[in-house]
Amino acid sequence: MDIKRIGIVGAGQMGNGIAHVCALAGYDVLLSDVRDEALSEALTQIGRNMDRQVSREKISQSDRDEAMERIGTTLKLTDLGPTDLIIEAATEREDIKNAIFAELVPVLKPETILTSNTSSISITRLASRTDRPERFMGFHFMNPVPIMQLVELIRGIATNEDTYNACQSVVTRLDKTSATAEDFPAFIVNRILMPMINEAVYTLYEGVGTVTSIDTSMKLGANHPMGPLELADFIGLDTCLAIMNVLHDGLADTKYRPCPLLTKYVEAGWLGRKTNRGFYDYRGDTPTPTR
């Protein structure tokens, strides 16, 4: 299938990043969200990020201007009906994703491919609620999308080869690298990454180390660019907890039990950078540990 128009559901951090890279690759993009201010903020953020690429001579000014012209926005989800590929990048809640697909299905072309940017939810289960499980798959970008090179492609049990090949071609055109994952809880990256973050929270919870000593140890001792607690704040502690719950529920193994301290932070609304407090407090000039 020749994919020319891409619909993106959700104008948050992931959605606007996906719109950014798709538009730069020459695709016509229609970005949808339920809030008009989210769409305005997304366009502003995309423009700002592209300006940064121009200043670093990664792209030309004409590349930037042409890409911005390819991005349209809409508050009406059903406007995405005529697109060739839809990438759902809404909140990491299965009920919300199912509601989005239920609204989209009646207006889609028969050949339209549906995908989800979910970081952990079963692709097979999401696909089974649609009219096209064979044309449905996981299309998991890493954050921040314009910088990170990996895309996980996840086949559901019914995903056919044509759908997989079409999505792989899109990844290649985006100048990114795909990794194929089977449809098991959290796929590859988060299956490995989230238990490490969860263990770092346990290390803090049990008093083995402070926030600073844990992050410093992993940065200087394991050569990680970010400490695990700093990374958790960047990802969002609610997202980390949701993925750990998917692992724990889906694999029924106690080694995936979310740390009680992680749950407490989420209950407090301290979700990391997006709320200005998590394992670090971001309200001042310099982030300071909260424990």
Cα–Cα dist 57/52, whole Å = 9
CATH of the domain at 253: 1.10.1040.10
Q: Is 278 annotated as a binding residue?
A: no
Instruction: Give the total number of structural domains in the chain.
Output: 2
Tell whether 109 is in a known binding site: no
Does residue 80 sit in the same domain as residue 170?
yes
* Distance, CA of 108 to CA of 86 (rounded, Å): 10
pLDDT digits 0-9 by tens, 192-222 = 999 999 999 999 999 999 999 999 999 999 9
Q: Which of 132, 154, 182 is the last residue of a domain?
A: 182
Give the active site residues.
119, 140, 152, 190
**Residue 45 labeled ligand binder:** no
Tens place of pLDDT per residue across the chain (291 aa): 789 999 999 999 999 999 999 999 999 999 999 999 999 999 999 999 999 999 999 999 999 999 999 999 999 999 999 999 999 999 888 999 999 999 999 999 999 999 999 988 999 999 999 999 999 999 999 999 999 999 999 999 999 999 999 999 999 999 999 999 999 999 999 999 999 999 999 999 999 999 999 999 999 999 999 999 999 999 999 999 999 999 999 999 999 999 999 999 999 999 999 999 999 999 999 999 999
Side chain identity, residue 57: E
Q: Which residues sit opposite 113 in a β-bridge?
A: 85
159 and 103, same structural domain?
A: yes
State pLDDT tens for residues 31-77.
999 999 999 999 999 999 999 999 999 999 999 999 999 999 999 99
Same domain as 212, residue 107: no
Structural domain span for residue 15: 5-182
Q: Among 160, 182, 204, where does a domain finish?
A: 182
Task: For residues 229 and 173, state if they share a domain.
Answer: no
Residues 142 and 212 in one domain: no
Is 149 annotated among the ligand-binding residues?
Answer: no
